[in-house]
Amino acid sequence: MKTNDLFKASGIMAIGTIFSRITGFIRSVLAVAVLGTALLADSYNVANTMPNILYNLLVGGALTAVFVPQLVRSFSDPDGGDGFASRLVTTISVILLALVAIGMIFAPALVRLYAPEFSTQGFEAENQIAIAFTRYCLPQIFFLGLFTMLGQIANSRGSFAPLMWAPIANNLVVIAVFSGVLILQEKISVDSITDAQIQLLGWGTTLGIVVQALILIPVVMRSGVTLRLRFGVAGLGKSFGLAGWTLVYVLISQLGYLVTVNVATSAAVRSAQDGLTTGVGFTPFTSAYYIMLLPYSIVTISIVTALLPHLSKLAMENKVEDVRLQLIRAIRMCGVVTVPSAVALLAFGPLITEVLFFGISLEDSRYIGYVLSALSLGLVAFSINLILIRGFNAFEDTKTQVVSIFIINLISVALSYLFLEILPSDLVTVGLGVAFSVSYIFGLFITIYLLRKHTARIDFSAVRSQHLRLLIASLIAMAPFYLLSWRLDWVNTEFETIQSLTHLLVVLGGGGSLFLLLANLFKVSEVNTAKSYLRSRLLKR
């Protein structure tokens, strides 16, 4: 797959991801406007995160890592892979439905596991609200699984765009729900929220996932795959064998995330006990995390989704040198976006969140920005690590990568608990961002070393040279705008929304334009490749 081909395969997905993230931003802003950033918002976000955690922990990671390579292999079956896909979808669906039922029964225990300090005296209301939200959100597990399975079937048939566009429908549904609540009642508190409002927000959030999954049914039907209800595990032995190590990988990852949720909610409770009103817990962390994922999602996920089926074919044909070249090409392409984005998020994090989260206090919105700046330090390493992990998946090696994620999470967990003990409660969430970044920077070197098992030594000199030029160009481009903001004291001055937006457009627009100019001067070929591709697409229209 040549660079232009990779751009073509990922272009539509990138556009879909952009719209998905934009609608996701609107959804996040409305959620903050309705629920705030303190304990009520944490109750909702912990509950809404629970289905994703349980789904990924038990099924999701295995599906993503194993399903595509195995589907590609099943195309050579006499039935074209229909039987394999039908049995896998049926088996996983039964598992997911059972998981939903068990989760709803043990919802109080789940909340106690992820937010233990909600059970302390004086926070009984937050605990009960979190349990109710959890029960309304847990059915998402089944539809998350259905969405993933249908999406991977479409991907294996060369249809990538729907998987990127379906989440937009999900966001639009939830936007409508939160907009309705906001119109009827501007802001809700722990004391004022009613059972009907909890049900509306909980079931409304789940409805978004339902719509997201069902949209893919006609896509799969058009792809030529015929799905039927087929029980039994014939032919699935290898898939579940590979999934076993993937489950260990995801288990380690989710245990690390469990610590993040624990530490963040503990910081929120302690801040409330200290009389602090600024939201400093799980909600600021997740809000900043979603913003950090924007540049990563636009390019990295789009490219990786287009690249994985091709990598699987190269690995099956034992074309190791081609696998190495594709991984290097993907990393270089992603760097064009992730490197300057990391510098911009580091320098202008509080300004970005001040504009995006205009419905809350300036102190709350800027705090999210400080967390965002901390997370930005690990953006590049996080993105490269994802690409390299797909190299393991292409060789159907779900065992070796467990070592990498174990070390990453070990570092993150150790730092998270350290920061909880030594930092003031209002700085703990920023510390979680630092812990995330440090863990992925160190973990990247482990992943590179482990991948040599399949690809031998990969020459990263071209990546280092390109990323260094991108970093220098980014720093030079952003520096004058940062100094201008500091000189005029814009970073400490409270503006109206329109003024803040203008300020943000000036610094990001000016810095981005200067970066492109410098990247061309520094001869970063991927910038010109992207521009040529976009120009050709526009001329075709």
* Burial (Cβ within 10 Å: 0-12, 13-18, ≥19) of residue 51: buried
- Whether 489 shows a pLDDT value over 60: the answer reads no
What span, in angstroms and rounded, lies between the C-alpha atoms of 227 and 462? 45
Number of other residues whose CB lies within 10 A of the CB of residue 350: 20
| Domains of the chain, residue spans | 3-459, 460-541
Q: Is 474 exposed, middle or buried (0-12, 13-18, 19+ CB in 10 A)?
A: buried
Asked whether the beta carbons of 279 and 36 are under 8 A apart, the reply is: yes
DSSP 484-537: HHHHTTGGG----HHHHHHHHHHHHHHHHHHHHHHHHHTT-HHHHHHHHHHHHH
User: Is residue 507 scored above 50 in pLDDT?
Assistant: yes
More confident residue, 368 or 119: 368
- Residue 390 class from Cβ within 10 Å (0-12 exposed, 13-18 middle, 19+ buried)? buried
pLDDT digits (tens, 9 = 90+) for 230-284: 665 555 555 555 556 666 777 787 788 888 888 888 888 887 776 665 667 788 8
pLDDT tier, 72 (very low <50, low <70, confident <90, very high otherwise): low
Distances (CA, A) of 40 to 129, 222, 539: 8, 43, 50
**Phi, psi (rounded to 5 degrees) for 80:** 75, 15
SS3 235: coil
**Over the stretch 22-55, which tens digit does the pLDDT of each residue have?**
788 788 888 888 887 777 888 888 888 888 777 7
Q: d(Cα 364, Cα 181) in Å, to the nearest integer? A: 21
Structure confidence at residue 340 as a pLDDT band (50, 70, 90)? very high
pTM: 0.75
Taking only the tens place, the pLDDT of each residue in 376-395 is 999 999 989 888 887 777 77
> pLDDT for 351-377, tens place per residue?
888 887 766 777 888 889 999 999 999
pLDDT of the residue at 519: 85
Encode pLDDT of 155-193 as tens digits: 666 665 666 678 888 999 999 998 888 887 766 777 778
